[in-house]
Structures are given as C-alpha cells and as structure tokens.
C-alpha cells in the first residue's frame, strides 16, 4: 500500500497516485530519515560526525547516545508520533536530542530560543506537545523556568527536559536520561521500531513575520530526500567538514547542512558562539571545506579574517541564499546561490553556471519532479519569460497543507495542489535551460505614486556602494505619493554612511532610474531580523512610520 498507515489528524498527506509517480521516477525514497541516519551511522562509525567546542564526536558515539536517548524518552511514557517542543540553541546536545526523538518516532516541533509566551503557548497547544526541551545555560534568560511556567498554559505537556543544565526539581536532564539506559538494549529497541516512511517526522515552522508561524509537517521520506538531493547537488563527501552557524533547528541548516552531512558521512562543525573568535577556533582546528552564510553574517566572517583569528584556505565552496555574488567576488571560491523554503521546494545554481547566473539567479529545482509555475500576482495566468510572477510549486518534498489549518490551506494552495509561496520569481532561458531569478516578495514593493519599485532590485544596486556593508529598502508613508523610499543602511567599519545626495550620484552612475532612488537614509548598526534570521521589514516600516509621525508632531 502506498501512503501513510496511521494518519495524524490535522496532517495533510500527499495523494497516493502522486506518491506512486514519484516513487516510480526515483524521486522519492521508500525509507525515511531515521532509517537513513541509522544506516549512515553504521557505515561511517569511525569517522567524525560532529566537531564541537567540547571535542569531536564520532558516528559510533553519536549512534550510541541517540539510541539511549530514544529509549529514555520511551521510558518517560512518550509514544511514537507524539510531539516535542524544541527551544534550544546550537550545541551537540541539541543534535543528540533531535536525533533521539527521530529514532524514538517522536515529532520535533522546531521553535526557537527567542520565542516567548505567545508563540510557545500557541504552538504547544496547537500541536498537543507532550514534552518541552530547552537549553539551560543561557545567562540572559532562564528557559527552564520559562518552560515550567507554561505547563499550566499547555495542559498536554508532561515533561520538561533540559540540555546542559543543573539538576532542578520536576525537570529531567538529557545527560541523566542518556546515562540511565543500556546501550545494547536501546540499540535493539530502536532497530526494531516499525517505521512508516510516509508519516510526518518533523514539524517545521513557516517564516511568517506578522503572525504566529504556521506548522509545516514534513514526511520522513520527503525530508530525507530533500537532504539527500542537496548533498548530491552540492557534492558533499565523507572528507568534508561543513560550517553553517545559523540555528540548527531551522530548516535551512537542517536540510542543507546538518542532515546532508550526517547522511553523507561528512562532519558538521558547531562553534561555541557567534563571535568571530569562536568561528576562528573552528576554522583553525577543523578546517571547514564548505561554508553556508546568509548576507547578514558576512561581516562576521570578514571580522574573523581581519582580526587574524583564522583563514579560509580550506574552504572549497560557499552556499548562500542572498549573498552569493558578494561571497564569490570577495573570496574567489565557487559559490552556490539558492532559494529554499521550509514548505519544501529548493532551487540551486551549479558550480558550472556563468558568473552572471550565480550573481543574479537562484538556479533550478533539485528534483526532476518539481513542478514550478509563475503566476501573475493576483491571477491564475502564467507569467512569461522575463516577467515577474508569484512562485507556485508542487513536488515530492513540498507540503500539501499546513498542520490543522484548513482555512489557511484554502488560500495557500491552488485547486490542483500547487503551493502559493508569496515569492516573486522571473524565469529566464540560459543555454537552453529554464533558470529562475528571485524578484522579491509579492508585497516587497514600494508603491511610489504610479510607480512600483522592487526592493530587491534597489538593494542589489545599493550593495555596490563601497561604504555600504548591508542595506534594506522599505516604503515610508507619504501623503502625496502614498509611499516614498527609505534605505536602512549598515556602514562598513570606519566609513560614514553615504548621504541621500551621494547615493543619488552613485545610482546615477549605476544606471538606475531616478524614481527608484532612496529619499531618506536611516543608518543603523545592524538590520532588524526575524526570529529565523530573515530581514524583518515589518519592524523597519514601523520604525520609520513612528519617526515620521514624531517629526510631524514636533513641527
């Protein structure tokens, strides 16, 4: 039988006929992520799996501790398919807990340490979570006490579990749980647990910035396939050490770095924190061969180099969803531009692509069964080549519905099951192949009078100014035009931010139409980011609106 054996209420599963087509095409495996990890751990037992501040963990050691954790979670009364809230910073213990849950058949719910009462209470109740796992060594916020305080608000929670914590009444410690189990019996129990590759294995969160994130069920075989195809596309081998310092719990790290590393026999390096000295420790000791960075993290890499903490001579390639051109030009390494979303679809450029493609495009889908349509915004009409359109997609690893969100799903999918992403793309023909270029969000546009200014285009133009380290464009309210253009700018160290007049001269020389030039500059030490590390333009729009209102009152 093709399809899930015991459906979870609220989870939308792919249609069996579509699954048959993907399986027949070799574009969906018949095993899930937990089985794939177990196989890889056995194959690469003696190799390093994790490089951490506390030392290197081999695949054999990772296999043993995660088996014991799975058995320990069962001993607490947790049952396969029950949900577990994760709220943990990067550490080896987070990796242990994630894999322990996967081996136990439990479903991690991937929240972030920065989430607070509103998000966690909602997500805990929405998913009927049975346990809440937090790290307990944060000097700024007591997550263990926080988790305990929410138990009354989330009645389904039965256990709070800490990573890297001290003993506390009513709380289980990960270290104690692992130590309580026999390695041989735990391994036998894990290996004999029945597993359904078509079942949900993890609940990721949408990257929404204006409301509580929606829950994305990813299936055991589609999540494994996503990781496997990424590893193949990027050419990961057991000789590689991967460095990607964004939150491990977030989909980008999980499907592009941690997961692909562990199923390939590569090593994954975890720095002690996000400082340039900590990154330097990793680069000196473990010589990463592949690094993944978003544009906002590039200044930290530059600081690591400029302050003499380490070099990047070991790096053979970079990965970036929004800064591939900057990395390629600055460091002269092959760089993979990409587009991805927690809902599924991934696109990549190739190392053999022309520089112009890497600098301006996000590539093509990683699966032959990925279907992509670009629709003119607000319509069901397909956009032509060179014309912006909303990305809609369907495929073997793209979700069929948010968890327990029937009304949202009616809006989020076309009648024939294509997911409406809200992202704008442009399709181009390059050497006979269809290549996609990101053109911003459907709402990432400044409406200046009758002109529509694409923020992504202007940001790329501003990034060429030698004094600008980072920038973001937002619309600011204007009584005459509706909106005018405001640029939030992070200046390079030791340089003043350009003035409006200086930017105008730069953009004049660049060749950009005058109506697209910024009319106001806000200089900031860093751009506002959401909890998943994306630009928080909603916060910037609110900030400039407040400033304009205050200035109008003061006049």
Q: Give the single-character DSSP code of 296.
A: G
Of 228, 250, 267, the residue at which a domain comes to its end is 228
Range of the domain at 213: 32-43+54-228
Q: Per the domain annotation, does 270 fall within a domain?
A: no
Neighbour-count burial for 529-539, b at 16+ CB within 10 Å, e otherwise: ebbbbbbbbee
Conformation bin of residue 249: beta by default, left when phi > 0, alpha when psi is -120 to 50: alpha
Q: Kindly report the three-state secondary structure assignment for every residue of 352-417.
A: CCCHHHHHHCCEEECCCCCEEEEECCCCCCECCCCCCEEEEEECCCCCCCCCCCHHHHHHHECCCC
Dihedral sign (CA 116, 9, 198, 181): positive
Of 228, 260, 290, the residue at which a domain comes to its end is 228
Q: Per the domain annotation, does 360 fall within a domain?
A: no
Q: Per the domain annotation, does 387 fall within a domain?
A: no
Predicted local confidence at residue 208, as pLDDT = 46
The neighbouring-strand residues paired with 119 are none
Per-residue pLDDT of the chain (555 residues; tens, 9 = 90+): 799 999 999 999 999 999 999 999 999 999 999 999 999 999 999 999 999 999 999 999 999 999 999 999 999 999 999 999 999 999 999 999 999 999 999 999 999 888 888 889 999 999 999 999 999 999 889 999 999 999 999 999 999 999 998 999 999 999 999 999 999 999 999 999 999 999 999 999 986 433 467 999 999 999 999 999 999 999 999 999 999 999 999 999 999 999 999 999 999 999 999 999 999 999 999 999 999 998 888 989 999 999 999 999 999 999 999 889 989 999 999 999 999 999 999 999 998 999 999 999 999 999 999 999 999 988 899 999 999 999 999 999 999 999 999 999 999 999 999 999 988 999 999 999 999 999 877 767 787 875 778 788 899 889 999 999 999 999 999 887 888 999 999 999 999 999 999 999 999 888 777 888 999 999 999 999 887 777 899 899 999 999 999 999 987
Residues 6+ apart with CB under 8 A from 554: none
Looking at residue 217, which CATH number applies to its domain? 3.40.50.980
Based on the structure, what is the number of domains in the chain? 2
Q: Per the domain annotation, does 316 fall within a domain?
A: no
Q: What is the rounded (10 degree) CA torsion for 497, 477, 453, 335?
A: 50
Looking at residue 476, which CATH number applies to its domain? 3.30.300.30
Q: Per the domain annotation, does 69 fall within a domain?
A: yes
Cβ 435 vs Cβ 412: under 8 Å: no
Q: Per the domain annotation, does 126 fall within a domain?
A: yes
Of 228, 260, 276, the residue at which a domain comes to its end is 228
Helix H segments across 251-317?
Answer: 251-253, 259-264, 276-286, 298-306
Q: Per the domain annotation, does 148 fall within a domain?
A: yes
Q: Per the domain annotation, does 110 fall within a domain?
A: yes
Predicted local confidence at residue 443, as pLDDT = 67
């Amino acid at each position: 039988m093709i399809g899930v054996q015991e459906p979870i209420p609220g989870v939308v599963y792919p249609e069996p006929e579509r699954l048959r087509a993907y399986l027949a095409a070799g574009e969906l495996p018949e095993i899930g992520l937990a089985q794939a990890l177990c196989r890889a751990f056995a194959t690469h037992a003696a190799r390093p799996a994790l490089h951490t501040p506390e030392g290197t963990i081999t695949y054999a050691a990772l296999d043993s501790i995660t088996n014991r954790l799975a058995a320990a979670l069962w001993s607490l009364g947790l049952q396969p398919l029950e949900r577990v809230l994760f709220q943990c910073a990067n550490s080896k213990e987070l990796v242990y807990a994630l894999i322990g849950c996967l081996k136990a058949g439990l479903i991690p719910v991937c929240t972030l340490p920065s989430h607070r009462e509103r998000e966690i209470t909602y997500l805990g109740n929405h998913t009927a979570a049975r346990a809440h796992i937090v790290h307990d060594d944060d000097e700024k916020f007591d997550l263990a006490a926080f988790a305990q305080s929410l138990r009354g608000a989330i009645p389904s929670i039965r256990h709070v579990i800490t990573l890297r914590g001290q003993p506390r009444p009513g709380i289980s410690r990960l270290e104690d749980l692992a130590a309580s189990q026999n390695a041989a019996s735990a391994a036998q129990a894990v290996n004999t647990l029945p597993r359904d590759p078509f079942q949900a294995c993890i609940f990721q969160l949408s990257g929404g910035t204006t409301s509580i994130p929606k829950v994305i069920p990813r299936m055991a075989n589609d999540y494994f396939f996503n990781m496997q195809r990424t590893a193949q596309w990027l050419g990961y081998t057991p000789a590689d050490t991967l460095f990607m310092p964004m939150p491990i719990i977030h989909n980008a790290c999980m499907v592009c770095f941690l997961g692909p590393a562990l199923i390939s026999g590569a090593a994954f390096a975890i720095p002690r924190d996000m400082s340039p000295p900590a990154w330097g420790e990793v680069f000196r000791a473990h010589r990463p061969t592949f690094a993944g960075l978003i544009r906002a993290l590039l200044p930290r890499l530059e600081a690591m180099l400029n302050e003499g903490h380490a070099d990047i001579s070991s790096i053979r390639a970079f990965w970036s969803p929004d800064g591939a051109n900057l990395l390629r030009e600055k460091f002269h390494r092959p760089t993979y531009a990409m587009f991805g979303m927690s809902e599924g679809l991934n696109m990549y450029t190739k190392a053999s692509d022309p520089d112009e493609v890497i600098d301006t495009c996000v590539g093509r889908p990683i699966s032959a069964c990925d279907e992509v349509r670009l629709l003119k915004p607000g319509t069901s009409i397909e956009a032509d080549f060179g014309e912006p359109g909303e990305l809609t997609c369907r495929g073997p690893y793209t979700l069929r519905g948010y968890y327990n969100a029937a009304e949202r799903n009616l809006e989020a999918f076309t009648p024939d099951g294509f997911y409406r992403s809200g992202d704008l793309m442009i399709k181009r023909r390059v050497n006979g192949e269809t290549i996609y270029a990101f053109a911003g969000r459907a709402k990432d546009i400044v409406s200046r009078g009758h002109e529509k200014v694409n923020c992504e285009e202007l940001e790329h133009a501003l990034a060429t100014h030698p004094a600008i380290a980072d920038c973001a464009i937002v619309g600011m309210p204007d009584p005459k035009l509706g909106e005018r253009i405001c640029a939030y700018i992070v200046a390079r160290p030791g340089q003043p931010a350009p003035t409006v007049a200086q930017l105008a001269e730069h953009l004049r020389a660049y060749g950009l139409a005058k109506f697209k030039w910024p009319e106001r500059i806000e200089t900031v030490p860093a751009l506002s980011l959401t909890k998943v590390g994306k630009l928080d333009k909603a916060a910037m729009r609110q900030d400039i609106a407040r400033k304009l209102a205050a200035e109008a009152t003061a006049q």
